[in-house]
Structure 1
Amino acid sequence: MTVLQPLCWFVRQLSACFDRIAILANAVGTLTVLGLVAVMNMDVVARGAFNAPFHGAVELVIFAMVLIVFLQLPDVVRVNRLTRSDGFLLMLDLRAPTTAFVLRRLIDAVACIFMAIVAYASWPEFIDTLESCSYFTAPDFGPPLTGDLITDLRAATARCDYFGTPGVFTAPWWPARLAITASAGLCAILYLFKVILGGQPAGGSHGSR
């Protein structure tokens, strides 16, 4: 028992650390929502008052939605608010609580495996989109390296695989791919801790299932 207590304490502290990362990602996602609202309001005002729509508003909304969903997903997992059909489990809570507890851990284990597969599958796509920019290597096309950090960074970003419409709005794909990969990986870790710790957040907050 004396050996398990420090180990359990360490696991809970590690879980709490990843919980804080999920909370931080959620905060960034919320700020992205606020920025998106500001852009949409600007577009409405520009269309109505000046008959000059904000070019790239549609593309920006689509791009931002990817970031918002995957930035906020880990915190949704953390507080147990990911949508699921739990009527059967709620019934088992009353009649066979131990069975319900085991089934919840099994569901969390399956979710952990699924999220790990998503992270594993999306990682090569993130690497491909990042390498298309040639941030750290000599470029295959475009202007050569100048030695000036800012100039080379701008040139590398312009070489990236992009999302959007040239001349209207373009953005590198790799931040969105990074958000998907990191979010899925973090969700897998959070589900793993739920399996180990019994499905309760380390910080003690309980979300409804």
Structure 2
Amino acid sequence: MLTLINQVMASVGTLLIFLQMLLICSDIAARFLFDRPISGVLEIVELTIVAIVFLMLPNSIATGALVRSDALFSALQRSRPAIARMMDLFFSLIGVLVLAAIAYGVWGKLTLAILRGHFTGNPGIFTAPIWPALLCIVIGSAWGAVNFGDKAVTLLFGQRGPNTGDPNVGH
């Protein structure tokens, strides 16, 4: 189930990338062909970039694709695997805490944005609500914390279940 939800979230992020690319290309074409840019492209791109990052974060954690400097980690895995495992566990536990703190911290902003109708853009020209991007931050960071927690449990107690993926992917 963990893997399926990660893949669905990453797929939504990929779809947003595709739609963002279409929007940008359409804006360029409209500027070039008709001398009329599409209103709100900047605002939409800003919001979707944030959404994309947080929608793809959990799958990156689960598959070991999260960017990190691992020269020391790789060397330790070969020479001192127990120390490397402890480092990985520590990194995963810190990941749980940081992502849970982000989800908790953004939750208040999300509720205010919904209740008060916060938006980005210029009234009369283009406005877009910010709550969808904030919702992606809350969901992505909370689910990312779950993925780091799953990884920590695996490191502490052994192999994962059949549907959660390989704990050694990317290492």
Give the alignment's TM-score, normalised by structure 1.
Answer: 0.74
Q: CA deviation at 1:43?
A: 0.8
Does 2:166 match 1:204?
Answer: yes
Q: CA deviation at 1:206?
A: 4.8
Counterpart among 105, 110, 119 of residue 162 in structure 1 = 119
Aligned residue in 2 for 1:190: 147
Counterpart among 116, 128, 135 of residue 178 in structure 1 = 135
Question: Counterpart of 1:54 in structure 2: which amino acid?
Answer: I
Larger Rg: 1
Q: CA deviation at 1:204?
A: 2.8
Q: CA deviation at 1:205?
A: 7.3
Give unpaired runs (5+ residues) of structure 1: 1-16, 133-159
Counterpart among 99, 103, 107 of residue 119 in structure 1 = 103
Identical counterparts, % of pairs: 28
Counterpart among 39, 47, 52 of residue 63 in structure 1 = 47
Aligned residue in 2 for 1:83: 67
Give unpaired runs (5+ residues) of structure 2: none
Q: Distance in 2 between matches of 1:50 and 1:127?
A: 40
Q: Distance in 2 between matches of 1:205 and 1:86?
A: 16
Q: Would the aligned equivalents of 1:19 and 1:190 in 2 still touch at CA under 8 Å?
A: no
Does 2:1 match 1:39?
Answer: no
Question: Counterpart of 2:109 in structure 1: which amino acid?
Answer: E
Q: Distance in 2 between matches of 1:58 and 1:111?
A: 31
Q: Distance in 2 between matches of 1:206 and 1:72?
A: 19
Q: Distance in 1 between matches of 2:125 and 2:17?
A: 21
Q: Distance in 2 between matches of 1:103 and 1:203?
A: 20
Q: CA deviation at 1:178?
A: 0.8
Question: Counterpart of 2:166 in structure 1: which amino acid?
Answer: G
- Aligned to 1:52, the other structure's residue is in SS state coil
Give the alignment's TM-score, normalised by structure 2.
Answer: 0.90
State the aligned residue count.
166
* RMSD of Structure 2 on Structure 1 (CA): 1.8
Q: Would the aligned equivalents of 1:163 and 1:173 in 2 still touch at CA under 8 Å?
A: yes
Aligned residue in 2 for 1:48: 32
- Structure having the higher helix fraction is 2
Q: CA deviation at 1:93?
A: 1.1
Q: CA deviation at 1:119?
A: 1.0
Q: Distance in 1 between matches of 2:12 and 2:124?
A: 28
